[in-house]
């Protein structure tokens, strides 16, 4: 089904692979992904959105990879959750999830205005509603007096930062009773070991690590770290922009 050793996926293979996971992609949704791909590549010529531009790589490593989050957390497929995507870049993972599961209410946060404009134009062209785009740094987006603080059923991030940093950027936006989901590749357990104290300090509790894989040869492992928000985040977190990355919350009790 897949081609040699290069992990690639045609649109039809994308559709079939999701069907194998119990997720149906309609003709309209397939057309939306097609437009997404072409608009991404066209915009990428003058705005840095992605290093991956080959169509069959985009379908596998961006579109399918994004949707794996709804296999790791199946309620994304059915619940009308408020979903916040921190540092979404070109819209991954939240917009592929929104295309397939339109009941989701999505907020995307990104620090670069050119990317926000791309996402706004994309949402307009795809007819996506209930998508809020916020031009902000993650640290100020959910800071102490922000209207977005502790507002979301689920906050996710993909390929943004190490887990110890990501926890401080994401957990303050999760409502108590909600969940934080981090998309990680193979170093998930190592990152988790370093981040465990920070997760607890920020009001989180590790609930699961789900390992899935891209349907490619060879298979590429993907890990999803699921953290429940069990207590309010102390008001001093997140710290001001740049500090979480420079002085991550390691060895905290």
Read off the pLDDT of residues 135-151 as tens digits, 9 standing for 90 and up: 999 999 999 999 999 99
Mean per-residue pLDDT, 195-222: 92
pLDDT grade for 79, boundaries at 50, 70 and 90: very high
Mean per-residue pLDDT, 110-129: 96
Q: Is residue 2 part of a domain?
A: no
Q: Is residue 6 part of a domain?
A: no
- CATH number for the domain spanning 182: value is 3.40.50.150
Report the mean per-residue pLDDT for the chain.
93
Burial of 1 (0-12, 13-18, 19+ CB in 10 A): exposed
214 strand-pairing partners:
220
Q: Is residue 31 part of a domain?
A: yes
Low-confidence winner among 20-24, 105-109, 132-136, 249-253 (lowest mean pLDDT): 249-253
Q: Is residue 112 part of a domain?
A: yes
- Per residue in 228-245, pLDDT (tens digit) is 999 999 999 999 999 999
Q: Cα 96 vs. chain centroid, distance in angstroms?
A: 10
- Per residue in 153-170, pLDDT (tens digit) is 999 999 778 999 999 999
Whether the Cβ atoms of residue 138 and residue 169 lie closer than 8 Å to each other:
yes
Whether the Cβ atoms of residue 155 and residue 84 lie closer than 8 Å to each other:
yes
Measured distance CA(45)–CA(65) in Å, rounded: 23
Q: Is residue 252 part of a domain?
A: no
Report pLDDT for 2: 41
Q: Is residue 243 part of a domain?
A: no
**Does residue 120 carry a pLDDT above 90?**
yes
**Does residue 218 carry a pLDDT above 90?**
no
The residue range of the domain holding 77 is 11-232
pTM of the predicted protein model: 0.94
pLDDT grade for 4, boundaries at 50, 70 and 90: very low
**Does residue 5 carry a pLDDT above 70?**
no
**Does residue 206 carry a pLDDT above 70?**
yes
**Residue 158 among known ligand-binding residues:** yes
Q: Is residue 57 part of a domain?
A: yes
**Does residue 1 carry a pLDDT above 50?**
no
Whether the Cβ atoms of residue 36 and residue 58 lie closer than 8 Å to each other:
no
**Residue 224 among known ligand-binding residues:** no
Q: Cα 231 vs. chain centroid, distance in angstroms?
A: 23
Comparing CA positions, the residue from 105, 236, 245 lying closest to residue 163 is: 245
- Per residue in 11-39, pLDDT (tens digit) is 999 999 999 999 999 999 999 999 999 99
Q: Is residue 178 part of a domain?
A: yes
Domain count for the chain: 1
Mean per-residue pLDDT, 65-84: 97
**Residue 191 among known ligand-binding residues:** no
């Amino acid at each position: 089904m897949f081609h040699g050793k290069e992990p690639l996926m045609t649109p039809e293979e994308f559709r079939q692979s999701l069907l194998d996971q119990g997720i149906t992609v309609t003709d309209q949704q397939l057309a939306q992904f097609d437009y997404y791909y072409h608009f991404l590549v066209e915009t990428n010529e003058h705005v840095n959105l992605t290093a991956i531009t080959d169509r069959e790589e985009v379908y596998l490593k961006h579109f399918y990879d994004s949707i794996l989050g709804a296999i790791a957390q199946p309620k994304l497929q059915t619940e009308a959750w408020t979903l916040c995507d921190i540092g979404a870049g070109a819209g991954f993972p939240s917009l592929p999830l929104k295309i397939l599961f339109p009941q989701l209410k999505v907020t995307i946060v990104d620090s670069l205005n050119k990317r926000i404009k791309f996402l706004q134009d994309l949402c307009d062209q795809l007819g996506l509603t209930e998508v809020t785009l916020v031009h902000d740094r993650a640290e100020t987006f959910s800071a102490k007096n922000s209207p977005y603080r502790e507002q979301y059923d689920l906050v996710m991030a993909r390929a943004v930062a190490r887990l110890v940093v990501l926890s401080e950027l994401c957990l303050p936006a999760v409502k108590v009773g909600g969940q934080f989901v981090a998309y990680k590749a193979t170093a998930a357990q190592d990152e988790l070991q370093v981040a465990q104290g920070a997760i607890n300090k920020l009001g989180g509790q590790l609930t699961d690590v789900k390992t899935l894989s891209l349907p490619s040869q060879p298979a590429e492992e993907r890990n999803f770290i699921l953290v429940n928000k069990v207590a309010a985040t102390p008001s001093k977190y997140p710290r001001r922009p740049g500090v979480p990355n420079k002085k991550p919350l390691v060895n905290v009790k």
